[in-house]
Chain A
């Protein structure tokens, strides 16, 4: 028993090291005062200073944040309505909707990216902010539905019966009971959508236009041209930002109703 628990701890630790060593090294190198060498040449803020003085990058960052906030907000509302309907009502096509959500999460992003490109071209929607926004909302919705639904199933159904007995209509139940109770899940779903939107390369690659540069695509083109300390700095900033967002969402979900 000893040996097996020892070996499982070792295995456990190695896997976490596998997950985190590359990221930790990336962050360490972003402070290394040298362009190419692996060796430590002293601590520097140089790459961060260069990063923050790059005006193109600021524009894409602003674009990505704006896009992420807009997409996450709309996706959260639509996802909320869908999750509430799936939870409370029987309706025609309910199983179909359930299955569709499931399929959309499993299906490869490339299929969605290419199919939206065909749709937007067909209706002559110029590729740019609008096409990105519609695409990002669409791929976030299923994740929001899953997040909110898994919260809903933990609720006591008697709450709704009590509200109905006391004369509350559906709008009132939705606004005064469901939304306040679901606040943590809404927050978590919003944050998940925001980070999905901020990180998405594949779908954006298909539906982005030249006028509206966004961060993930810019990182992609920078990364293709090789390792540079500024990219290390940029990736470290983004990684830390997502890390904080995950922690926030997990804390929000942890509190019991």
Chain B
């Protein structure tokens, strides 16, 4: 009897917690997205599709497009920078390998708010970067980087790059070297081996990394807030505004539901791409 007692007690605690604080709130968001907004109540009952119809507003559409564009560019930049890096670390024979990995993990643990703030001193008009460029005569006038979209993208890449590197690194480490050798033996050149063997086998890591970069890139609202200035509004800032400032919760919930749909789509792609792989241990 003791056997099932431990199992039942633990499972009840775990399910209870996840049900109340993960599944229920998730359903509440979807429910809230169908409610009406009024000045006296945060949410009102008559079920309505009007919030979803309001999504078809040119302002919202422009913010969506901009968020998708910035998040997409950031994901591609992280992939291009991160893949070779992850590959080099994973294949490294160096006795310092653990230290190298640790140095990638540290940014993952430390506050991204602090790290974004640290960027300001470098890219502001009289910052380090401009001073160096002026000193070596590469530019005549300081470049306006801070408070532009480039600053937002730089901040996002800086913060999210480790999230691209870590899953890819795990995948490259598990890559069976014999497959690479076999491809080379059979006459494939380096490029073909990379394209036909290495890329497909590390695809789960690429997709997991891309999800871990893409979604936060749209929703880390404090990065556009402190690096981008007033003009840089992304989806995250929009949701934050609806909930905290204009207190239009149903509309905020609608954006959140749309975001969840996007997540679900990306997850389906991931599950589809990893059907034959073990999917844990990606962190």
Residues in A lying within 8 Å of B, measured CB to CB: 8, 11-12, 15-16, 18-23, 25-26, 29, 38, 78, 81-82, 84-85, 89, 91, 93, 97, 100, 102-112, 114-119, 121-122, 134-135, 137-138, 141, 146, 149-150, 153, 169-171, 174, 192, 195, 198-199, 201-202, 205-206, 216, 219-220, 223-224, 227, 231, 235, 238-239, 242-243, 245-247, 250, 254
Contacts and interface: CB of A to CB of B under 8 A. Distances in A.
Given A107-B263, A110-B221, A150-B280, A216 B243 contact: no
Contacts of B218: 108
A115 B256 contact: yes
Given A78-B17, A150-B281, A19 B103 contact: yes
A170 B11 CA distance: 13
Given A22-B158, A107-B215, A122-B28, A81 B114 contact: no
A116 to B, nearest CB: 5
B25 A216 contact: no
Contacts of A239: 110-111, 114
Contact of B6 (A16, A134, A170, A224): A170
A106 to B, nearest CB: 6
Interface in B1-22: 2-3, 5-7, 10-11, 13-15, 17-18, 20-22
Contacts of B64: none
B28 A89 contact: no
Contacts of B172: none
A235 B22 contact: no
B106 interface: yes
Contacts of A219: 111, 113-114, 117
A115 B26 CA distance: 6
B111 A110 contact: no
A104 B24 contact: no
Given A115-B26, A118-B28, A243-B110, A224 B226 contact: yes
Interface in B97-137: 98, 100, 102-107, 109-115, 117-122, 124, 126-128, 131
A114 B26 CA distance: 9
A106 B118 contact: no
Contacts of A250: 102, 105
A17 B256 CA distance: 36
B241 to A, nearest CB: 12
Nearest to B42: A121
B22 A100 contact: yes
B68 interface: no
Contact of A227 (B22, B121, B161, B212): B121
A85 B25 contact: no
B148 to A, nearest CB: 17
A67 to B, nearest CB: 15
B113 A106 contact: no
A108 B259 contact: yes
> What 3 A-B pairs come out closest when comparing CB atoms?
A115-B25, A169-B2, A170-B6
A22 B100 CA distance: 18
Interface string B144-181: 00000000000000100110000000000000000000
A198 B109 CA distance: 10
A128 to B, nearest CB: 16
A8 B88 contact: yes
16 contacts: A18-B161, A38-B128, A81-B11, A85-B7, A91-B7, A106-B208, A106-B263, A135-B21, A141-B18, A146-B280, A174-B6, A201-B113, A219-B117, A220-B113, A239-B111, A242-B110
Residue with the highest number of chain B CB atoms closer than 10 Å, among A23, A118, A150, A192: A118
A102 B128 CA distance: 40
B119 to A, nearest CB: 5
A23 B219 contact: no
